[in-house]
Amino acid sequence: MPLILPGNVGSATAATGFNVANSLRFNSGSTDFLNRTPSSASNKDLWSISAWVKRSTRGGYDTIYGVYTDSSNQENFGFLNSDKFQWQLYQSGGVVGQLTTTRLFRDPTAWMHILGVYDSANGTAGNRMRLYINGVEETEFATDTNPSDGQDSLWNSDTLHMFGSGGNGMSGGDLFDGHMAEIVALDGIAASPTSFGEFDDSGIWKPIKVSGLTFGTNGFYLQFEGSGTSANSSGMGADTSGNTHHFSVNNLTAVDQSIDTCTNNFCTLNSLVPTGGGFSPNSSTFSEGNLAFATNNSSNNWGYALGTFGVASGKWYWEVKVTTLGSGEMIGIAGNNSPGTNQHPGKDGNSYAYNYNQVIYGPDEGEASYGDAYGADDIIGVAMDLDNNKLYFSKNGTFQNSGDPTSGATGTGAKAITAAASTDKGFYFPAYAVANNNADGAASFNFGSPPYAISSGNTDGDGFGNFEYAVPSGYFALCTKNLAEYG
């Protein structure tokens, strides 16, 4: 599985094929989930469930769907804390069907497609529960418990159905962290993967239009295109299949409706990178689909985070909102290297940073006076020009020290970058740190799909992203459609 969806999912200027407009970003810390209880039961022996997901964390229980009656009767479909995938039917206090994969799923940077097909009347016991990942059937399982012939599931029963929550029902157990898109349920149909996706010329599995499918009595299609939180046709949990099986939205708000999708994957922070300086993990945390980061600067380990997308050419723009000032904020970029002990962007290898206290750091200049001080609620824009090897910072829309990334005017506002391609570092990544052992800080990152409310709304020149301030002309959001065109 690739680290990110490659650029052939569509170019920035002439995207072809099917494009997914929205996903929904689930955050376990705020108990986000969707729920619906069908008014009546339908086919409990034959059905299919399809979803595209982008997981944020690893080592936790991430439930995609859950059906819950009580602790002895429940159904779960999602990731275990071992990072295996499990689909389990649990009834009358015992397992009646279960698939647990042998392989692990640890990549928080890529979208993946998961299809479960339940067909308990199938004459071949091994075909009664079938699991497909990115268009390919899983065949090796740590646990493979086949349902008995005609075994009813809880899915399509008149009990609580959820997305983003599992075994503890409405109290919010086994909550999902990350993004979901294109959720489809087919009632009475054993679907094949080709109902939901196809392989492109480079062998990458991508979504296709599903509006022509037969959804069945309790089937539904969640595109997350609505804007409200009510269980109706305008809500984020709206069913667009025509069946009007709308889901209620719990604790999700307008900012959780994301444009990071399985056809245009946006940069986030990389939760696989340990959060302490020197790669000694501390208890700093990621949240909001890995777009929010809060440091816990204990044991002399400074909080340090890197983005998921590294680039060696092109012009790129993103914004960082300081939510809690830790009196040591460093916002910038870092080469493809590991942070050393008590290091930060600008002091660690081939990296550069704008400090909260009017200092800019870089490997060539050390420390120099730069710009205005910034603090909580300020938004720092980063414009990285790897074609001309210059780096600009803005504060609340004003580029500092008379730098102008559009015209290329430097003043003292542009930092000269060592050419990425000419070093052994290869790529530059968005970077953030709080270099203070005695204070914790927090920031939210907007790579084009913000985890906080935007008051104005600006896109890049190709119409991608949602930024608070105008994107400099010729600069683009860090997403796969732009990487295909300019990366």
Does this chain's domain 7-258 share its CATH topology with 277-486?
yes
Both tokens assigned to 273: 């990178």
Q: How many CB atoms lie within 10 A of CB 396?
A: 13
Contact (Cβ atoms closer than 8 angstroms) between residue 247 and residue 163: yes
Pick the CATH number of 7-258 from 2.60.120.200, 2.130.10.30, 3.30.420.40, 3.30.200.20: 2.60.120.200
d(CA 137, CA 344): 44
Closest CA to 136 of 171, 165, 112: 112
pLDDT tens-place string over residues 379-420? 999 999 999 889 999 999 999 998 999 988 766 677 777 655
DSSP 269: B
Residue 484 backbone phi and psi in degrees, to 5: -65, -35
Domain covering 277-486 in this structure, CATH number: 2.60.120.920
For the chain, what is the total number of helices (H) and then of strands (E)?
A: 1, 32
Domain ranges of the chain: 7-258, 277-486
The pTM (predicted TM-score) of the whole model is 0.93
Predicted confidence (pLDDT) per residue in 284-315, tens digit:
889 999 999 998 776 556 788 899 999 999 99
Kindly report the three-state secondary structure assignment for every residue of 308-335: CCCECCCEEEEEEEEEECCCCEEEEEEE
Question: Average pLDDT of the chain?
Answer: 89
Distance separating alpha carbons of residues 227 and 305, to the nearest angstrom: 31
* 125-164 pLDDT, tens digit each: 999 999 999 999 999 999 999 999 999 999 999 999 999 9
DSSP for 198-239 reads: EE-TTS-EEE---TTS---TT-EEE-----BSSSSTTBTT-B
pLDDT in tens, the chain (487 residues): 334 444 334 433 334 479 999 999 999 999 999 999 999 999 999 999 999 999 998 877 899 999 999 999 999 999 999 999 999 999 999 999 999 999 999 999 999 999 999 999 999 999 999 999 999 999 999 999 999 999 999 999 999 999 999 866 555 568 999 999 999 999 999 999 999 999 999 899 999 999 889 999 999 999 999 988 888 999 999 999 999 999 999 999 999 999 999 999 999 999 887 666 544 456 688 999 999 999 877 655 678 889 999 999 999 999 999 999 988 899 999 886 556 555 678 776 678 999 999 988 887 556 889 999 999 999 999 999 999 889 999 999 999 998 999 988 766 677 777 655 444 446 899 999 888 777 889 999 999 999 999 999 999 999 999 999 999 999 999 999 999 999 8
Tell me the chain's radius of gyration from C-alpha atoms: 23
